[in-house]
Amino acid sequence: MKKWLRKDASAAMFFLVPSGIGFALFYLIPFAMGMYYSFMSQSLGGEFVGFDNYLELLESGSFRKAVSNTFYFSAVSVPLMVMLSLGLAMLLNKNTYIQKWLRTAYVMPLVVPVASIIMIWQLLFDWNGSLNAWLNSFGYERVDWMKTESARWVVIIVYLWKNIGYNVILFLAGLQQIPKDYYETARIEGAGRLRQFRSITLVYLTSTMFFVVIMSIINSFKVFRETYLIAGDYPHDSIYMMQHYMNNMFVSLDIQKLTAAATLMFLCILLIVLVLFAIERRHRQYME
Amino acid sequence: MQVAYILKKSALTFVMGVIAMILISPIVITFTNSLMTELEIEINYGLIGQMNETTAGRDGSFANLKLIPDKVSFAQYGKVFIDNPKYLTMFWNSVFMVMPIIVGQTLVAALAAYAFSKLIFRGRDTMFLVYVMTMLMPFQVTLVPNYIMVDKLGMLNSTGAIIVPGIFAAFGVFMLRQFMLDIPYAYIEAAKIDGAGHLRIFITMIVPMIKPGLAALVILLFVDYWNMVEQPLIFLDDPFKQPLSVFLSRINDSDRGIAFAASMIYMAPMVMLFLYAESYFIEGIQLSGIKG
């Protein structure tokens, strides 16, 4: 037994079996089944129809709306999140008082339950809410935040608020790993602040960045929960996401469209991850 | 010089402090409002969610966000605990759903993470990529086949439908692998030379070394699953089996009077766990990000 366990490949089997079985059963096989359904005319006893479901899907207006909204949301919110949290982490990394308390406060939004978020969200962004009350007191017209294009920004703000602390902590750790004398040397050699940031800070933060970007993408999909609970199945057009679309297809039992959409979404995410992995691998070789 | 330094440090602290205040304001608002009477809540927020038309064009008809209650009262809490026993039932539903997921996923993930970080075998990177992929997928992507699978296993409308898939989610594997990558391979080589097998290396060396990672994982899983809404809504028909998160997220206008207190009760375990284990948690997420 002991000897058997010492060989890597067979040991790997032993360590991976519990996770592997469950993972296959609840994630891998369901996913393969989903892909299979996306090529069939119906989920039970249907026949192979090739890409028909996909063509139909691409013609659907609400699908296209969902795609462009999801893409827009991630393309805006993830870079915004990375920039803001890196900025905050760099400020926090400089000397401040009560640094520990500040850090605690930044992470707290992570533990606020959905229900509280929803209530505060309503209090702030409702037609009769506080934000409009403040606007009104400064003499501006009130805005129907959730029922106009501005809903997009409300969702982005909620996303930033909830997740920024997590990324600040990640970046802070990365920053503290960079030896101080690198900056010293750079300064003596006449490198300006921007140059130092580009050639030292960003280079040494690459692997942190990789992790932050992955986590930010995951978390950007999770805002759906709050959005859904606030605005329901059919929110304003500007925040109708892929998850809304898939949810609605599930409710209307249009399994073909749902699985085809899921497969397309999977391919997009796969592409993003592969690019990230390639960048990370190249960076690691470069560092060694 | 000295004065300039102190001034600069104070100014920076002030700016960062203001940002911190904004970030925690929802928690503060929830807390202070939970001490108001139902009547006060109704007076302040009665207008929220009203049809736009009824108040459109009328100035001054806004909700009144208040921080300090007129009179501190525990009436909301009393009402939650005494008049609505269902809150407590659902609170325990949440506990009994979340605990097995945390324990199970941490265990299963630690084992798998060891294989992915410290063992060399064919197809390792591809397999890990597959794990990461599913982790990134929104829940809706595998909704249908998952539903069929859960149904086939006879778990539909039982908490097993939530717990068992939760145990095998990929997040724990991903996170713990990050931690184990930090442990130099030389340690394992040395232990092997001393005659230790992989299982012993795992239990006596690796697990103690990744304690911060385990703590961070436990907290993150707790926060995540304590707040789950989609899965119970789809897999559990019976309203008495639902966790508190589902119930609270559907609080409507008529319940608003006790909603703040209910939220506080719900938030309390998370905040306490977080404050209690904060240093572990922070150390944990920090370590996970250092090595890609």
pLDDT tens readout for residues B4-29:
888 888 888 888 899 999 888 888 88
Q: Does A170 touch chain B (CB under 8 A)?
A: yes
> Are B72 and B117 found together in one domain?
no
B83-86: long-range contacts, CB 8 A cutoff, minimum separation 24: B84/B258, B86/B240, B86/B247
> Are B32 and B4 found together in one domain?
yes
Burial A193-219 (b: 16+ CB within 10 A, else e): eeebbeebbeebbbbbbbbbbbbbbbb
Range of the domain at A68: 59-287
Facing residue for B285 by CB, picked from A9, A166, A280: A166
Helix (H) or strand (E) holding A284: helix A255-287
Looking at the structure of chain B, the number of domains it has is 2
**Chain B hits for A255, Cβ within 8 Å:** 144
Per-residue pLDDT reduced to its tens digit, A263-277? 888 888 888 888 888
> Could you tell me if residue A115 is inside a domain?
yes
pLDDT of res. A101: 85
pLDDT of res. A1: 44
**pLDDT band of B172, cuts 50, 70, 90:** very high
**Chain A hits for B114, Cβ within 8 Å:** 15
Could you give the CA distance from residue B207 to residue B188 in angstroms, rounded to a whole number? 13
Could you give the CA distance from residue B97 to residue B101 in angstroms, rounded to a whole number? 7
**Chain B hits for A166, Cβ within 8 Å:** 285
Facing residue for B290 by CB, picked from A177, A266, A277: A177
Q: Which residues contact A100 (CB under 8 A, 6 or more apart)?
A: none
Matching residue, tokens 């990558």:
B181
Task: Determine the Cα angle at A19 with ends A16 and A22, to 5°.
Answer: 135
**pLDDT average, residue stretch B170-174:** 90
**pLDDT band of A92, cuts 50, 70, 90:** confident
Per-residue pLDDT reduced to its tens digit, B119-159? 888 888 889 988 888 887 877 777 788 888 888 888 888 88
Question: Mutate which of A42, A110, A127 to test chain B, going by most B C-beta atoms within 10 A?
Answer: A127
Could you give the CA distance from residue A49 to residue A39 in angstroms, rounded to a whole number? 6
Distance from CA of B86 to the nearest CA of A (A): 17
Per-residue pLDDT reduced to its tens digit, A158-173? 889 988 988 888 888 8
Nearest residue on chain B to A22, judged by CA atoms?
Answer: B168
3-state secondary structure (DSSP) of residue A40: strand
> Could you tell me if residue A236 is inside a domain?
yes
Could you give the CA distance from residue A31 to residue A36 in angstroms, rounded to a whole number? 9
Q: Is there a contact between B30 and B267 (Cβ–Cβ < 8 Å)?
A: yes
3-state secondary structure (DSSP) of residue A48: strand
Q: Which pTM does this prediction carry?
A: 0.83
pLDDT of res. A114: 74
Cβ separation A262–B262 shorter than 8 A: no
Cβ separation A119–B278 shorter than 8 A: no
> Are B38 and B3 found together in one domain?
yes
CATH of the domain at A268: 1.10.3720.10
Q: Residue type for B183, please?
A: I
**B184 dihedral zone (left: phi>0; alpha: psi -120 to 50; beta):** beta
- One-character DSSP codes across chain B: -HHHHHHHHHHHHHHHHHHHHHHHHHHHHHHHHTTS-HHHHHHHHTTTT--HHHHTT-TT------SS-SS---HHHHIIIII-HHHHHHHHHHHHHHHHHHHHHHHHHHHHHHHHHH---TTHHHHHHHHHHHHHS-GGGGHHHHHHHHHHTT-TTSTHHHHHHHHT-SHHHHHHHHHHHTS-HHHHHHHHHTT--HHHHIIIIIHHHTHHHHHHHHHHHHHHHHT--HHHHHH---GGG--HHHHHHT--GGGHHHHHHHHHHHHHHHHHHHHHTHHHHHHHHHHHHH--
- Mean pLDDT score of chain A, rounded to an integer? 83
Task: Determine the Cα angle at B245 with ends B242 and B248, to 5°.
Answer: 100
Nearest residue on chain A to B12, judged by CA atoms?
Answer: A96
Q: Which of A231, A240, A167 lies closest to B282 in space, CA to CA?
A: A167
> Could you tell me if residue A183 is inside a domain?
yes
Could you give the CA distance from residue B105 to residue B214 in angstroms, rounded to a whole number? 11
> Could you tell me if residue A221 is inside a domain?
yes
Q: Which of A85, A78, A79, A110 lies closest to A169 in space, CA to CA?
A: A85
Matching residue, tokens 């998952």:
B146
Range of the domain at B215: 85-289
Could you give the CA distance from residue A287 to residue B243 in angstroms, rounded to a whole number? 48
Could you give the CA distance from residue A176 to residue B290 in angstroms, rounded to a whole number? 10
Could you give the CA distance from residue B130 to residue A274 in angstroms, rounded to a whole number? 11
Question: Mutate which of B13, B14, B16, B45 to test chain A, going by most A C-beta atoms within 10 A?
Answer: B16
pLDDT of res. B181: 82
> Are B7 and B125 found together in one domain?
no
> Are B33 and B154 found together in one domain?
no
Could you give the CA distance from residue B117 to residue B68 in angstroms, rounded to a whole number? 52
> Could you tell me if residue A134 is inside a domain?
yes
**B20 dihedral zone (left: phi>0; alpha: psi -120 to 50; beta):** alpha
> Are B218 and B173 found together in one domain?
yes
- The answer for A 54-93 residues in CB contact with B (under 8 A) is 88, 91-92
**Chain B hits for A33, Cβ within 8 Å:** 145, 148-149
**pLDDT band of A141, cuts 50, 70, 90:** confident
> Could you tell me if residue A28 is inside a domain?
no
> Are B6 and B89 found together in one domain?
no
pLDDT of res. A104: 84
Could you give the CA distance from residue B244 to residue B88 in angstroms, rounded to a whole number? 9
Whether the per-residue pLDDT at A4 is higher than 50: the answer is: no
Nearest residue on chain B to A158, judged by CA atoms?
Answer: B23
**pLDDT band of B185, cuts 50, 70, 90:** confident
Looking at the structure of chain A, the number of domains it has is 1
Strand partners, A40: A48
Length of chain A in terms of residues written: 288
Domain end position, chosen among B77, B97, B117: B77
**Chain B hits for A19, Cβ within 8 Å:** 108-109, 111-112, 168, 173
Question: Mutate which of B249, B252, B267, B291 to test chain A, going by most A C-beta atoms within 10 A?
Answer: B249
- The answer for B 23-52 residues in CB contact with A (under 8 A) is 23-24, 26-27, 29-30, 45, 47-50, 52
Cβ separation A165–B23 shorter than 8 A: yes
Cβ separation B148–A207 shorter than 8 A: no
**pLDDT band of A116, cuts 50, 70, 90:** confident
Domain end position, chosen among B39, B60, B77: B77
How many other β-carbons are positioned within 10 Å of the β-carbon of residue B140?
A: 25
Cα torsion at B78, B81, B83, B87 (round to 10°)?
A: 140
Cβ separation A225–B108 shorter than 8 A: no
Cβ separation A105–B170 shorter than 8 A: no
Could you give the CA distance from residue B202 to residue A166 in angstroms, rounded to a whole number? 29
Q: Which of B174, B285, B26 lies closest to A168 in space, CA to CA?
A: B285
**pLDDT average, residue stretch B162-182:** 88
pLDDT of res. B98: 93
**pLDDT average, residue stretch A144-171:** 85
Cβ separation A265–B138 shorter than 8 A: yes
Could you give the CA distance from residue A120 to residue A129 in angstroms, rounded to a whole number? 10
Distance from CA of B36 to the nearest CA of A (A): 15
Strand partners, A48: A40
pLDDT of res. B53: 47
Q: How far is CA B165 from CA A26, A128, A241, in A?
A: 6, 42, 25
pLDDT of res. A135: 79
> Are B145 and B257 found together in one domain?
yes
Nearest residue on chain A to B145, judged by CA atoms?
Answer: A30
Whether the per-residue pLDDT at A132 is higher than 90: the answer is: no
Q: Is there a contact between B155 and B164 (Cβ–Cβ < 8 Å)?
A: yes
> Are B15 and B115 found together in one domain?
no
pLDDT of res. A93: 84
Domain end position, chosen among B20, B54, B77: B77
> Could you tell me if residue A3 is inside a domain?
no
Could you give the CA distance from residue B233 to residue B237 in angstroms, rounded to a whole number? 7
Q: Which of B223, B226, B270, B282 lies closest to B249 in space, CA to CA?
A: B226
**pLDDT band of A256, cuts 50, 70, 90:** confident
**Chain A hits for B266, Cβ within 8 Å:** 113, 115-116
- Mean pLDDT score of chain B, rounded to an integer? 81
**pLDDT band of B111, cuts 50, 70, 90:** very high
Facing residue for A128 by CB, picked from B63, B251, B288: B63
pLDDT of res. B61: 65
> Could you tell me if residue A33 is inside a domain?
no
Percent of chain A past pLDDT 70, that is, above it, reads 96
Q: At what angle do helices B143-152 and A29-37 cross, to 10 degrees?
A: 120
3-state secondary structure (DSSP) of residue A43: coil
Q: Does A275 touch chain B (CB under 8 A)?
A: no
If one compares B94 and A226, the residue with the highest pLDDT of the two is: B94
Distance from CA of B168 to the nearest CA of A (A): 5
Burial class (CB in 10 A: 0-12, 13-18, 19+), A76: middle
Q: Does A281 touch chain B (CB under 8 A)?
A: no
Q: At what angle do helices B211-226 and B85-118 cross, to 10 degrees?
A: 140
How many C-alpha atoms does B145 have within 13 Å on its Cβ side? 22
Q: Does B166 touch chain A (CB under 8 A)?
A: no
Assigned token pair, B271: 């905040």
